[in-house]
Amino acid sequence: MLQAGMKAPLFTLPDQDGNSVSLADFAGKKVVLYFYSKDNTPGCTRQANAYAQAYQAFRDLGSVVIGISRDSSASHRRFSDKYELPFLLLSDPERTAIEAYDVWQEKKLYGKVSMGVVRTTYIIDGSGVIEAVMPKVKPDTNAADVLAYLREQEGK
């Protein structure tokens, strides 16, 4: 697992509109990068909606929110439209960023072992260094936890 203080792996992936988006595009801004399993699943939908509801607060703190999953850009577009998500969703079917950020891991569900995306959030500072890592986050509290962290850092 990547750790705070490490340089964030660079990536370029298509967004929900098919536009190429690179981590380098956000130099000078704090990036909240969250990895999730799949569009339109219950937990991922709750997580995305929580980020959407708190989106203005993230913007007020100068932060950019980006979600990444293996879904296609077309799937992301439908998901984004359905729930009116105001932030970027990036498509990573080849698992380029998913593997670079070490979130493709063994998972166990009802005794069955499989590989998949482990819900993880990275906070990356304006110089491209990982500031915080939140592994195995809960979909219902992830956005609020990240916002609390950012506000605490802002107060320092």
**Which residues are marked as active site?**
44
CB 36 within 8 A of CB 70: no
Distance CA 103, CA 11 (A): 14
With contact defined as beta carbons under 8 Å apart, do 34 and 120 qualify? yes
The span from the CA of 151 to the CA of 58, in Å, is 9
**Burial (CB count <10 Å: 0-12, 13-18, 19+), residue 106:** exposed
Of the candidates 123, 104, 113, which has an alpha carbon nearest to the alpha carbon of residue 62?
Answer: 123
